[in-house]
Structure 1
């Protein structure tokens, strides 16, 4: 695994846990954790259960004993690492968003397709797909339980940037993060809407806003820029993105991605309305799926609260008895399960890099729309209104 921040902890937990919970078809060895700071990465490797630590990812992916590379670094390094790993014959798991720009994502997808011809698999980490309630939502829509999809509402709201004293970290610098709330959490909302409906976003109209444009610089050595802990620096990404999307069926979807929703800590929510019913999910009620059946008699109509912890629900049978709730970390274990099973079975895992590329094109189209007074922009031609 390359990188050892917040996502490094989550992925490490998944690599430790999935082989002990699910009957995986192959053994998994957590061989090497890679980072730039030798002492820090060694400490992380010991804490999280990696056999050894290293500081040169190029040397690690050249090793014969490495079969798979898990990339959890900032988006600006995804393309270089993923392409090199695929060309070295390694399977690749890459965190979202796939890259910082469409051309990088296109190069990664081309490399993945070439590698697939040699039996090398790749996947992008849109982990929320693996929440049992979300996968159940997808299944129910596919079964026709809400009829024809007519409208989608998706939002991802956080509040960790409301305080203007929050330092200028890498997520607020375009050269490292690509974009702000739009790419970091808006990408999840886009992928979730497409995953559960089976539809694609084909055009967008949106607006972006940077609410706080200057923030205190981080201390020397604590940030990617290595700046001194004096003065302020410019925030070069968005804090808030609001946009409308046209889906491939013709239906409309509304999206919001913000780090300024005061009081909302990690509120990823999606509601899909159809002509026969509706389904709604909110990550702040992780184990709950709301279902409205419009075909039921009027006197019993209303949203039904499904607790998605039954053995019949996706992924759940391997865990606890019904009603014993799952948490944030379980989605990452489900991701490992699906990836390892696909590699062992010789099939392409999902979401593939091509799916990550489409999300990247949606993000680029939103930015293009915002730069053109919110004009509608096609996803396949983001430079054209």
Structure 2
């Protein structure tokens, strides 16, 4: 497969990120199949046509069913709001299209399992968008853990902190509506933490959590895009039906303990997506706001130089780095999507499932729902029991 013809549903925040990735791949990863940006879809005709021109898509439509039916589409990229994922994915799988879906995979675990089953029954390839796995510094952390250089893992702690809705007058965007988003900070930010934990440390056997919605009502929106919005006229308000913040603890199958915090009410934190892993032989620390750096500690260092060292993961020794700039020249957020999409295209070329895929999406959804159940029932819950 020398090229992959793509139809994409969604054209705002994630639509721009995915489009940018498709456009850059031929320049920096020339051995990967060439993405052909055939068709982009969105409900607003004027908006999606503008996006098609800006992002470089050949055509634009307003009905995703038309996109799925097209014979000249190999891959359906779904980055519409979460409530649309299932219906589009099921139809695309039935039409024999490969699938690339943003996280969380679905609104519920049952829906996520149905999506996975449909993809497997159709024999199509499927990928879920956990882009943070693809930062070179994160790949280094994974390498150190897998090689045993941190020893036995004792702790995984993670936090995804934002503050973009801390103003109580910020409008009631779709991410604050449970019917559309499924959950709030938990499913949006916490899903990334859960996937990172599974990627680095392994499966979680039981969880217990707590959550809070600090602002119960917000002004109805006039317009919204990405993480910004303007209020409508008339001063009408609506209820916030998702969590503003969720915290939980976990036990891992390997014996490690985990702590997780996801909030949109951490003033001063624009996008603090961080984790720390502590083992018997060493530790690593990562913060996406300094995404090119991994802080590494080895207990075996001489006593007079012990402590965390800053490793700049831009040398050719690190994953993906040789495709970019000379050592020390950093990369950014958009590159995680490029690396993610390279994995998808190469998997299609090699006739294998890309990683992460819908199996990872289902496992993440199981942990999300186990945490929610633990909050409702005020007890430890095992994801495997759901």
**Structure 1 length-normalised TM:** 0.95
Paired residue secondary structure (1:238) = coil
2:122 aligned partner: 115
More strand by share: 2
CA contact (8 A) 1:75 1:100 kept: yes
- Structure 1: 4+ residue segments shifted above 4 A: 220-224, 226-229
CA distance in 1, matches of 2:32, 2:280: 42
CA contact (8 A) 2:42 2:48 kept: yes
1:263-308 alpha-carbon deviations (Å, 9 max, x no partner)? 0000000100000000110011110001100012222211010000
CA distance in 2, matches of 1:140, 1:285: 19
Please tell me whether residue 287 in structure 1 is matched to residue 288 in structure 2. no
1:192 aligned partner: 196
Q: Which of 344, 348, 368 is equivalent to 1:339? A: 344
1:34 aligned partner: 41
Please tell me whether residue 172 in structure 1 is matched to residue 176 in structure 2. yes
1:58 aligned partner: 65
Please tell me whether residue 323 in structure 1 is matched to residue 328 in structure 2. yes
CA contact (8 A) 1:219 1:229 kept: no
CA contact (8 A) 1:4 1:34 kept: yes
CA distance in 2, matches of 1:321, 1:282: 22
1:231 aligned partner: 236
RMSD: 1.6
For residues 1-385 of structure 1, what are the structure 2 equivalents within 5 Å?
A: 1-116=8-123, 120-197=124-201, 199-219=202-222, 229-373=234-378, 375-382=379-386
1:176-230 alpha-carbon deviations (Å, 9 max, x no partner)? 0000000000000110111122x11121000010010100111279899x98653
Give the aligned length.
376
CA contact (8 A) 2:282 2:299 kept: yes
For residue 231 of structure 1, report the CA deviation from its aligned partner.
1.4
**Structure 2 length-normalised TM:** 0.95
User: What stretches of structure 1 of length at least 5 have no aligned partner?
Assistant: none
2:3 aligned partner: none
1:152-177 alpha-carbon deviations (Å, 9 max, x no partner)? 10110001111111000000000000
CA distance in 1, matches of 2:279, 2:219: 47
For residue 24 of structure 1, report the CA deviation from its aligned partner.
3.3
CA distance in 2, matches of 1:220, 1:161: 15
For residue 372 of structure 1, report the CA deviation from its aligned partner.
1.4
User: What stretches of structure 2 of length at least 5 have no aligned partner?
Assistant: 1-7
For residue 25 of structure 1, report the CA deviation from its aligned partner.
3.8
